[in-house]
Amino acid sequence: MPPTLLFLPGDGIGPEIMAQLRRIIEWLGQHRGLTFDMVEDLIGGASIDVHGVPISDGTLAKAQAADAVMLGAVGGPKWDKVAYDNRPEAGLLKIRKELQLFANLRPAMVLDALVDASSLKPELVRGLDIMIVRELTGGVYFGEPRGIEDLGNGQRRGVNTQVYTTAEIQRVARIAFEFARVRGNRVCSVEKANVMESGKLWREDVTALHAVEYADVALSHMYADNCAMQLCRNPKQFDVIVTDNLFGDILSDEASMLTGSLGMLPSASLGPEKPTGKRAALYEPIHGSAPDIAGRGIANPIAAILSFAMALRYTFDQPDEAARIERAIEAVLNQGIRTADIMAEGCRQVSTSGMGDAVLAAL
């Protein structure tokens, strides 16, 4: 039986970039004998329009059953007035929570062809290859109590709670150590142990796990504010960074900008092992639905295609096919073919489908 893939294109540029990914997947079926049982469904605003909710129970059930979920992006101004709990982004939070996708992996790599797209000097980013592992289902984005209360005197009070348990910290740290072992063998754990109890616990629990199970991996600790600074000052000092949900959100966006374009960067979100021995997994570009360019055929589909390469590597045990896709993309960029977001002097600008054509030709 072919592995199952749930396709959730979502909103804005989501459907445009996912259409190009579909062509790549069809190519793999035709030329490499690698086929998938693919099902497509709705998430985000597209689901609100049809079902009244940003993700339906039926879609969640399909996500649970699939070997991997490929997501485009959600959100857009059309749904600005939807109730906060029912907004498009709530669909994304719900699927992460339901699949218990506790580890978000974001590689930040600089390809030689795009070294000038970074806002940092080429010598600082040439050859950059770091992986940020962000805790995704805990911390301040989910902690209770939370809410906005009316204090009755014209004042209101907003509350969120940063909370982590040892189990939550150690399961995400374990993923970081495992990935470090097949990369540069170094993990930097990031928190604010100097001012937050949850950070102090984070540091103690990572240290304890390291001593017992991962002493062969080099472990360092850094405060989140220093890490933000070091990512700009000398990003190549890092191999794997592991951090909580809030700091990871911010630091991974910062790291992504070291590479120059949001349209280039993939991500993977992994959950617990299922009875099949595989982890629950959702793959998506790190960018959003880009309403400012949606419908114009100019979005860069590379982040979506590279997200599928991650799926080939981490869910489908096809590292050679993943590398084949990555090499094709590198070849296209080396030929000077660019979408608008990464356009540079002397290069040839192509549309979203033009980039799909170029990657297929390189394959």
Active site residues: 141, 192, 225, 249, 253
> Does residue 289 touch ligand NAD according to CB under 6 A?
yes
DSSP secondary structure letters along 231-298: HHH-GGG-SEEEE-HHHHHHHHHHHHHHTS-GGG-EEEEEEEEPTTSPEEEEEEESS---TTTTTTT-
* Binder of ligand NAD out of 24, 74, 173, 328 (CB under 6 A): 74
Residue 49 and residue 14 in contact, taking contact as beta carbons nearer than 8 Å: no
- Which residues within the stretch 116-135 sit at the binding site for ligand NAD (CB under 6 A)? none
The one segment of 72-80, 236-244, 273-281, 354-362 that binds ligand NAD by CB under 6 A: 72-80
Q: Considering the rule CB under 6 A, would residue 67 count as an interface residue with ligand NAD?
A: no
Smallest separation (angstroms) from ligand NAD to the CB of 16:
9
When asked if residue 73 is in the footprint of ligand NAD (CB under 6 A), the reply is yes
Contact 106, 240 (CB under 8 A): no
> Which position among 3, 9, 15, 75 is part of the footprint of ligand NAD (CB under 6 A)?
75
In the range 336-355, which residues lie near ligand NAD by CB under 6 A? 341
Q: Is 300 in the site for ligand NAD (CB under 6 A)?
A: yes
Length of the chain: 363
Check binding of 291 to ligand NAD (CB under 6 A): yes
* 91 forms part of the interface with ligand NAD (CB under 6 A): no
Q: What's the token pair of residue 154?
A: 């014209």
- DSSP letter, residue 347: -
Is 107 a binder of ligand NAD (CB under 6 A)? no
252-281 mask for ligand NAD (x: CB under 6 A)? ----------xx------------------
For residue 99, the tally of other CB atoms under 10 A from its CB is 23
CA distance 358 to 337: 8
What is the Cβ-side half-sphere exposure of residue 8, based on CA atoms within 13 angstroms? 32
Examine residue 288 and tell whether it contacts ligand NAD (CB under 6 A): yes
Q: Say whether residue 299 binds ligand NAD (CB under 6 A).
A: yes
| Binding region for ligand NAD (CB under 6 A) out of 74-82, 143-151, 225-233, 322-330 | 74-82
Collapsed DSSP state (helix, strand, coil) of residue 310: helix
Residue 249 within binding range of ligand NAD, rule CB under 6 A = no
Query: What's the gap between Cα 265 and its chain centre?
Result: 8
